[in-house]
């Protein structure tokens, strides 16, 4: 029991509430900074965010706008809880009212535009255009409203930030801070789901459109796709059943031969609505014959590429599990973000489906690695299950997805290793992992014999007979192993050779993000002598050229000089 | 002025309120039965009916049901204003609550059925299935609920009723009574529109789905199609515009190149919804490239074949005009129904588009004929326009559709001619009409020179440059003229030879409804000697065989022996 119950030590790490990480975290000593604020359950966060989103409107504004006048104008419809501006195709404002009724008030005071030669589809949503009656009235000397950033940093910017960091720990935290979803971006994601919910709720009043995956699991990066599903589970649940007499009333409905066909039909109609009515919904594709039927579209105003599916409860439960793992210890997300960024820089992952390792697989590998530390940084899934009470019980499609939902019941780890050490050890661990015979399994937190012959075997945590990395080819796995070894070697070579803060040279994590195809070790050493800005420029060019190559071809051309 | 203002005489005829004609009308002396009840405007009727429909639900019931228990059960959700049962695919109840809130209460207490091997589209409408929790509890000795009839009589039944009538006037009124829309059928039509309105209103909250044409113009026959249009005109009208400051808010909408494309897109999505979600909506066809794009579908529960279009204000105004003409004098509808029935029996009209005369054209011919009587029975459209006040003014797409909307301001006709006389004279009038040079024109109520060479020219009352019977071929027109002459001759031959009520022989109107292809005059005379039942059977068989022939082929084979 000692081995799998190592969370007796009090929390030493403060996972940021709702994934915001502020600058003060940088370089902060983790030891001693205890935080006893109760952590919110995933379901609480989801519920709160959804309710916020339902009170929220999106307003396309003129570029020159007085924030004060804008807020005064909207306050006619009720108090405003929260607002921010951002830049997309023009300037947008996201305004969250305190009361849902304010949205209706705004809608009632809003007209459908009369077009000139064109015609409008007079659809009423929560997306508005704000116009100036007399544009010249707003002087050009208006102070610009501050715009919240919705994009990840450019590569150039990232390298600069990493070089300016104080330590490798600081580098990992900086990368996390720059790439993770901001509070505003998260709000925008829930709001976008809520717009789609309005469309679906027109016909299925008790439905919900829930984001899942990277938008909510704590591991989403700015710019990542928005996955959402239409949850019809609460439909047909009778609120108050009048049972007088011998009668029973049911809705007359269309019957179809299977749940799948029902799903396809519902998605098909929602797809039509989005395509024909949804303001700013473009590129609507109905991919209804896929294993999991979906509607894909771009939501222009928010800039999100969206995938709408139905019945994805198991995916939502996976998101919750990752949320918990990410929230338990602040090192988890920092390490995962850096490993993913490293993998992307070396074309180990790709935005197109194929033989590449996925971000989900990489995350599972990090979690597994952190379960293997001594003392462990993360508990096993079986341990989380053992903490579950009756209310946590969850069986989906025959799979036991039960684990404790209350994060406060999980004791924090006593492990105090630095991110720098963990990064090095991660590369060493997987550079030496016996992928040929062992399976990665976060349920038990132990290497298991592979039940099948796929090059990489990572057990699906809920559908345990499945391998989440079945798609990975031997050559892609080998590439991963080679790069892990190379990276471990680079970190080893660098040793304690951190430059002083004023000396902005490539070092630490930044070095690992250089594509190996464009360098060998001696070159990397030599480049250090050049001014950082010039080297960054060259490196960016090489990243650009390497990312256009086919990664399966480049994997064979690399010289691997290290063995751990 | 005397000639076109003949409505100084007080009303002698009582148009039935909302088109219900009860048995007491039969054989009633029209003279002296004055009715000073103010007649409702078309718009008032439409509004009232629409509101009723919104408070109404449709319930599929078990065949054995206690009406008392059923009403008691539903009364839990609020007081019931009105209800009736009818037979379609099973037993249905239409229940109109006093309050709209009762519908929501019923919906909240209703579950979506759980299917066995099938899946349900969990769409919430106002169509329900009522089930017995314990079917054996409702004993089979339950008195059967009375079912309202939604179909016209069979030919056999019609002939029997006509033969039993007391006079030709009575025959025409009987035919009207049997074929006209009942109160219940009218309610069902508005209810069906209201269901479609629910679907459209999900996205276009202030829209209305309005029935038009035969369902509302007073000339609809049981079983006729249900034409409806989506009225978006009230959308975007701002209820309360907040104009603080220099701002103006509009909905973000999709823009399309034309109103037509907007219409097509909206109809397309509604068509998808009906097809995929609408309980009992089958055979959905999207006919979007027609001049007037439409969605056609069958609504199984009501048994209606429905056509949904958009932007059909001019058609609605035509319906209103016919409503007024039909309501002004009780003889109008009786004559129109009989002429239409006569035309259908002789394949002068058809349910398929082609060179046939339409019911609308026939109605215009009857109206024109009644305008030509001395004194006139119906006023000209120009006269109705002259009575219009400012509020009646109506210009649609550049066409002046203005006429008086308040029926009570139109003085009734002093003409007291019997229906028998009018029927005879109708056939004589059109048997001798100079179709080759004259146009029929209800606006002026005078024969006009034909502006074009179509065989039959009937001026469109609002779009006056159009001919509503442009489709009619010379041979179809000739067939109409021949049959009109033949019918005039038959009525002339019969003279006052009405059989006694006990002697159920074919006579009067019934004789005119026999297909001429199966008879000549001497045969008809001979057949009179056979018992009525046997003759009716033979005749029905001949109707059956003639109606399957191509009417354009049969028109040449007829022997026409009469000249007026």
CATH code at position A65: 3.30.70.330
Give yes or no for A131 touching B (CB within 8 A).
yes
CB contact (8 A) between residue A119 and residue B70: no
Does a structural domain hold residue A429?
Answer: yes
Contact indicator for A164, A501 with CB cutoff of 8 Å: yes
Taking CA atoms, B363 is separated from A13, B195, B552, in Å, by 86, 30, 22
Checking if the pLDDT of B469 tops 60, the result is: yes
Write down the H helix ranges in A109-229.
Answer: 155-163, 168-179, 183-201
Q: What is the pLDDT of residue A238?
A: 58
> Cβ of A69 under 8 Å from any chain B Cβ?
yes
Nearest CA-CA partner of B327 in B13, B550, B111: B13
Place of tokens 């050890």: A425
By the CB < 8 Å criterion, does A499 face chain B?
A: no
Q: Which of A383-387, B161-165, B500-504 has the highest mean predicted lDDT (pLDDT)? A: A383-387
B278 to chain A, any CB pair closer than 8 A? The answer is: yes
Q: Does B179 touch chain A (CB under 8 A)?
A: no
Cβ <8 Å between B122 and A255: no
Mark yes or no for CB contact B131/A202 under 8 Å.
Answer: no
The average pLDDT across A51-57 equals 97
Q: What is the mean pLDDT of residues A100-127?
A: 87
In a domain, B24, yes or no: no
Beta carbons of B108 and A239 less than 8 Å apart? yes
Asked casually if ipTM beats, i.e. exceeds, 0.90, the reply is no
Task: Pick from A126, A230, A253 the residue to mutate for testing the B interface (most B CBs within 10 Å).
Answer: A253
Identify the closest residue of chain A to B255 by CA–CA distance. Answer: A120
What is the model's pLDDT at position A39?
A: 87
- Which residues in chain B have Cβ-Cβ distances shorter than 8 Å to A73? 242, 244-245, 247
Poorest-confidence range of A437-446, B214-223, B536-545? B536-545
Nearest residue in B to A272, CA atom: B269
Q: What is the pLDDT of residue B19?
A: 37
Q: Which of residues 191-230 of B touch A (CB under 8 A)?
A: 199, 202-205
Instruction: Report yes or no: B332 and B225 within 8 Å, Cβ to Cβ.
Output: no
User: Which A residues in the span 440-459 are in contact with B, Cβ-Cβ below 8 Å?
Assistant: none
Last residue of a domain, one of B115, B148, B181: B148
Stronger pLDDT, A121 or B25, i.e. the higher one: A121
Q: What is the pLDDT of residue B186?
A: 96
Say if residue A25's pLDDT is above 80: no
Distance from CA of B92 to the nearest CA of A (A): 12
- Cβ of A252 within 8 Å of Cβ of B121? The answer is no
Chain A 351-410, residues with CB within 8 Å of chain B CB atoms: none
Q: How do residues B138-167 score in pLDDT, each as one tens digit?
A: 555 566 788 998 899 999 999 999 999 999
Give tens-digit pLDDT for A236-252. Answer: 565 556 566 778 899 99
SS3 category, B307: strand
| From A107, A134, A252, residue closest to B60, measured CB to CB | A252
Write the pLDDT tens digit of every residue in A436-453: 999 999 999 998 899 988
Q: What is the band of A503 on the pLDDT scale with cuts at 50, 70, 90?
A: low
pLDDT range class, residue A94, cuts 50, 70, 90: very high
* Closest chain A residue to the Cα of B61, Cα to Cα: A249
Contact A236, A273 (CB under 8 A): no
Of A235, A246, A257, nearest to B138 by CB-CB distance is A246
- Residues of chain B with Cβ-Cβ distance to A76 below 8 Å are 242, 244
Asked if A124 and B273 come within 8 Å (Cβ–Cβ), the reply is: no
Helix (H) or strand (E) holding A308: strand A304-310
Range of the domain at B103: 42-148
For chains A and B, count residue pairs whose Cβ atoms are closer than 8 Å: 283
Is the pLDDT reported for residue B25 higher than 90? no
At B14 the pLDDT is 38
Same domain, B51 and B163: no
What's the confidence (pLDDT) of residue B140? 55
Residue B60: list chain A partners with CB under 8 A: 252
How far are the Cα atoms of A377, A380, A417, A560 from residue A5, in angstroms, in the given order? 11, 9, 18, 40
Q: Is B57 among the domain residues?
A: yes
Last residue of some domain: B148, B165, B188?
B148
CB-nearest to B133 from A115, A247, A258 is A247
The winner for highest mean pLDDT among A35-44, A363-372, B28-37, B554-563 is A363-372
What's the pLDDT score for residue B232? 84
Q: Band of the pLDDT at B534, cuts 50, 70, 90?
A: low
Residues in B closer than 8 angstroms to A259, CB to CB, are 119
Query: Is B9 a residue whose pLDDT tops 60?
Result: no
**Confidence at residue A540, expressed as pLDDT on a 0 to 100 scale:** 52
Percent of all residues in chain B with a pLDDT value above 90, rounded to a whole number: 64
Q: What is the dihedral of CA A434, A438, A440, A446, to 10 degrees?
A: -100
pLDDT one-digit tens code per residue, A391-416: 999 999 899 999 999 999 999 999 99
Q: Which residue has the tokens 């429909």?
A: B53
pLDDT, mean of residues B69-84:
94
pLDDT category, B485, cuts 50, 70, 90? very high
**Distance, in angstroms, between A123 CA and closest chain B CA?**
6
**Quick one: pLDDT at residue B309?**
93
B242 occurs within a structural domain: no
Which of B183, B231, B237, B149 is CA-nearest to residue B19? B183
User: Among A154, A219, A175, A180, which Cα is nearest to A508's?
Assistant: A175
Is residue B235 situated within a structural domain? no
Chain B contact for A262, CB < 8 A? yes
Q: Do B486 and B445 fall into the same domain?
A: yes
The predicted structure's pLDDT at residue A21: 36
In angstroms, the separation between the Cα of residue A14 and the nearest Cα of chain B is 42
Q: Is B136 on the interface with A (CB under 8 A)?
A: no
A273 vs B: CB within 8 A? yes
Q: What is the pLDDT of residue B137?
A: 60
What SS3 state is found at B314?
A: helix
Structural domain total, chain A: 2
Using the 3D structure, point to which of B112, B131, B148 is the last residue of a domain: B148
Q: Between B122, B199, B249, which is nearest A110 by CB?
A: B249
Residue B404 shares a structural domain with residue B504 = yes
Q: Is B55 in the same domain as B162?
A: no
The H or E element containing residue B248 is strand B247-251
> What CATH number is attached to the domain comprising A482?
1.10.1410.10
pLDDT tens for B310-333 read 878 899 999 999 999 999 999 999
Strand residue runs (E) in B149-244 = 208-212, 226-231
**Whether residue A76 is found in the same domain as residue A161:** no
Comparing CB atoms, the residue among B114, B262, B272 nearest residue A120 is: B262
Q: What residues of chain B lie within 8 A of the CB of A257, using their CB? A: 117-119
- pLDDT at A122 (0 to 100): 87
B518 confidence band (pLDDT: 50, 70, 90):
very low
Which A residues in the span 301-330 are in contact with B, Cβ-Cβ below 8 Å?
Answer: 301
Q: Is A133 on the interface with B (CB under 8 A)?
A: yes
Candidates B336, B100, B91, B360; CA nearest to B227 is B360
Whether A408 is in a domain gets the answer: no
pLDDT of residue B326: 96
As a whole number, mean pLDDT of residues A57-71 equals 92
Would you call A244 and B72 a contact, using CB atoms and an 8 Å cutoff? yes
Of A77, A117, A202, the CB nearest to B202: A202
Question: Do A107 and A159 fall within a single domain?
Answer: no
| pLDDT for position B521 | 43
Claim to verify: residue B504 and residue B541 sit in the same structural domain: yes
CB-nearest to B122 from A124, A138, A236 is: A236
Question: B89 and chain A: CB distance < 8 Å anywhere?
Answer: no
Same-domain status, A455 and A550: yes
- What integer pLDDT is reported at residue A182 of this predicted model? 95
Contact, A303 vs A150, CB < 8 A?
A: yes
| Residues B360, B437 share a domain | yes
Does residue B106 sit in the same domain as residue B167? no
Residues B468 and B497 in one domain: yes
Is A204 close to B123, i.e. CB distance below 8 A?
Answer: yes
Q: Is residue A266 part of a domain?
A: no
Query: Do B164 and B100 belong to one domain?
Result: no
C-alpha span between A397 and B413 (Å, rounded): 76
pLDDT of residue A237: 61
CB A394 within 8 A of CB A404: no
Mean confidence (pLDDT) of chain B:
83
Residue B345 maps to a domain: yes
């Amino acid at each position: 029991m000692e081995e799998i119950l190592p969370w007796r030590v009090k929390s030493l790490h403060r996972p940021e509430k709702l994934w915001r990480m502020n600058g003060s975290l940088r370089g902060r000593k983790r030891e001693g900074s205890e935080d006893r604020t109760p952590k919110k359950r995933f379901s609480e966060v989801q519920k709160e965010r959804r309710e916020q989103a339902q009170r929220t409107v999106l307003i396309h504004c003129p570029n020159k706008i007085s924030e004060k006048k804008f807020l005064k104008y909207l306050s006619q419809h009720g108090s405003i809880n929260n607002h921010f501006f951002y830049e997309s195709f023009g300037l947008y404002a996201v305004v969250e009212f305190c009361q849902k009724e304010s949205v209706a008030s705004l809608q009632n005071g809003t007209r459908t535009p009369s077009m000139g030669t064109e015609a409008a589809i007079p659809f009423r949503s929560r997306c508005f255009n704000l116009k100036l009656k007399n544009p010249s009235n707003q002087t050009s000397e208006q102070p610009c409203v501050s715009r919240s950033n919705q994009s990840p940093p450019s590569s150039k910017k990232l390298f600069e930030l990493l070089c300016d960091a104080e330590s490798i720990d600081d580098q990992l935290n900086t990368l996390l801070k720059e790439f993770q979803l901001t509070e505003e971006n998260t709000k925008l994601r829930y709001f976008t789901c809520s717009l789609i919910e309005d469309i679906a709720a027109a016909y299925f009043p008790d439905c919900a459109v829930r984001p899942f995956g990277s938008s909510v699991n704590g591991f989403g990066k700015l710019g990542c796709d928005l996955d959402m599903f239409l949850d019809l589970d609460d439909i047909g649940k009778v609120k108050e059943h009048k049972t007088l007499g011998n009668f029973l009333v049911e809705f007359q409905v269309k019957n179809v031969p299977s749940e799948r066909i029902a799903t396809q039909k519902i998605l098909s109609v929602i797809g039509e609505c989005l395509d024909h009515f949804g303001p700013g919904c473009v590129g609507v594709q109905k991919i209804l014959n896929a294993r999991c039927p979906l509607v894909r579209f771009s939501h222009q105003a928010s800039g999100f590429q969206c995938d709408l599916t139905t019945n994805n409860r198991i995916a939502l439960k996976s998101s919750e599990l990752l949320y918990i793992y990410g929230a338990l210890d602040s090192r988890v997300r920092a390490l995962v973000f850096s490993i993913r960024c490293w993998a992307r820089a070396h074309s180990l992952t790709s935005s197109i489906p194929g033989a590449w390792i996925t971000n989900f697989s990489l995350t599972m590998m990090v979690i597994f690695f952190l379960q293997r530390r001594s003392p462990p940084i993360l508990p096993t899934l079986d341990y989380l299950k053992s903490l579950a009470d009756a209310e946590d019980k969850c069986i989906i499609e025959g799979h036991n997805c039960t684990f404790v939902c209350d994060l406060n019941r999980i004791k924090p780890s006593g492990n105090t290793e630095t991110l720098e050490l963990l990064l090095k050890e991660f590369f060493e661990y997987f550079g030496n992992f016996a992928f040929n015979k062992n399976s990665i399994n976060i349920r038990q937190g132990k290497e298991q014999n592979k039940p099948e012959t796929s090059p990489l075997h990572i057990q699906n945590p809920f559908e345990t007979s499945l391998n989440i990395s079945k798609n990975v080819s031997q050559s892609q796995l080998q590439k991963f192993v080679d790069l892990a070894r190379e990276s471990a070697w680079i970190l080893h070579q660098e040793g304690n050779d951190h430059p002083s803060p004023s000396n902005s040279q490539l070092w630490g994590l930044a070095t690992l993000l250089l594509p190996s195809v464009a360098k060998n070790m001696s070159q990397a050493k030599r480049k250090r002598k050049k001014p950082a800005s010039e080297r960054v420029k060259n490196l960016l060019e090489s990243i650009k050229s390497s990312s256009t190559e086919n990664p399966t071809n480049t994997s064979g051309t690399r010289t691997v000089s290290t063995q751990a």
